[in-house]
Structure 1
Amino acid sequence: MFNWEQLNSTCNNCRNCDLAGTRTNIVIGRGNPNAPIMFIGEGPGEQEDLRGLPFVGPAGQLLDTLLEALKFKPDEYYIANVVKCRPPNNRVPNEEEAEKCLPYLRNQVALIRPRIIVCLGSTAAKYIVARDAKITQIRGHWIQRKKFWIMPTFHPAALLRDQSKKELLFKDIKEVKKKINQLVSEEYGG
């Protein structure tokens, strides 16, 4: 397992798949590296690729607004993606691309050691929950694996295309807030 410095260096020099040839920047993550909550999306979009940070485009702005509305503190979460390089035209990463990047994501999870992992969208659910996971069937349901509580939900980009998902995403993220408060309370005997 790499420490943060080694992970950043390894990702920046990665040429394990074709995405490395089309990226502007590697997009590793943002937020508190000791956060109790980790949000995982699909992959960087255009704005993320340009800035080298995940979730800074329209979908990220929507996620930030939602987290602020539900009173999440910035030190409570870390945000990453399944793949660290932007797939051309924002397409879904293919199996090979995701497989090549998963060791980096696993390394991030091991370093952060979150209590809760939120899978934002079907790609994250596929590689974290189960390969045959259907986001419409599992979203909003807690899954416990090892030491992690996992909440699959819609990707904020889905709301930009379909406003009917807004209420469900809000409800799911509200459940995340409730669960982290419960876990912290149990941890401190409250």
Structure 2
Amino acid sequence: MLAQSYCDWWSLAGVDALVGEAPAGWLTPPAANDAATKARPVAPAEAEPPPLPAALQRQAPADVPETKGPVEMPADWSAFQSWLAEHPDVPGSQWDARRVLPVGDPGAPLMLLTAWPEIDDQRDGALFAGPAGQLLDAMLHAIGTTRGECYLASLAVTRPPGGRCDAADVEALDRLLWHHLTLARPGRLLLIGGDIVRMAAGLALPDARGRLLEINHQGGKMAAVAVASPAMLLARPAHKAAAWDSLKLFNRGR
């Protein structure tokens, strides 16, 4: 029985003769019986996917615009005022279509300068409008002057979103600041608000309290004091004392 089982095994393995015409793999099943070699159905060719929408297709790189140099600012007073009112390249004019323009004449005894208009100013188209303007008038009266005797200006002619601008805008506004002061030629300078104090005097507003500042400009020095904006003083009346500490410095020597 054992011998018979050996013979049956060799027969199943395909070895049923001692000598064959050609060598064969004993354990390799015939191709006809190999399921792996059976013909497989040919999958139909996949349809080409539709093209992507134009918005999602790779776009050719756009031509990079040439970098503009520094904005050229008019050296004449009248031309400068017209430029502030109309020219699209005025730094700080890009945030709103309505521009709030300076009021007054060059060479005024006192120039009031803020960084940009307040929300009420932007709405009304005039600097220091509404209740904040009334408080400013009272502050000027306390030092013996009126806004009609002053030159009023904001460095930027529109208000940036949230009252903040980025470093690139600050650099352009810095050039505008010194050009504006050159043409305005004020006798003294009242800096209104922390932003303009940092730009013009390089100080934080609390550090400027009660100090007569000297702004270096074109080889000379311009007397200046700094106060918080009237809008902030209305919201925080406790800061009015600090504003008065600075304003009264203008009364010295009168």
* Residue equivalent to 1:96: 168
Does the C-alpha gap of structure 1 residues 98 and 60 become closer, same or farther in structure 2, counting only changes over 3 Å? farther
How does the TM-score come out when normalised to structure 1?
0.78
Greater relative contact order (Cα < 8 A, sep 6+) = 1
Cα deviation for residue 16 of structure 1 reads 5.4
Does the C-alpha gap of structure 1 residues 16 and 108 become closer, same or farther in structure 2, counting only changes over 3 Å? closer
Which of 99, 107, 110 aligns to 1:37? It is 110
Q: How does 1:131-170 map to 2 (within 5 A)?
A: 133-144=203-214, 145=216, 146-170=220-244
How does the TM-score come out when normalised to structure 2?
0.61
Q: Deviation per CA, 1:162-181, whole angstroms, max 9, x where unpaired?
A: 111112212321222335x3
- Rounded to whole Å, the distance in 2 between the matches of 1:43 and 1:101 is 11
Q: Deviation per CA, 1:134-174, whole angstroms, max 9, x where unpaired?
A: 21122221122323012122222221221111122123212
Larger proportion of helix: 1
Give unpaired runs (5+ residues) of structure 2. 1-73
Does the C-alpha gap of structure 1 residues 108 and 52 become closer, same or farther in structure 2, counting only changes over 3 Å? farther
* Residue equivalent to 2:151: 78
Count matched residues: 176
Give unpaired runs (5+ residues) of structure 1. 182-190
- Rounded to whole Å, the distance in 1 between the matches of 2:211 and 2:240 is 17
Which of 50, 58, 62 aligns to 2:123? It is 50
Check the 8 A contact 1:39/1:77 in 2, yes or no: yes
The answer to whether residue 180 in structure 2 is matched with residue 108 in structure 1 is yes
Does the C-alpha gap of structure 1 residues 31 and 108 become closer, same or farther in structure 2, counting only changes over 3 Å? same
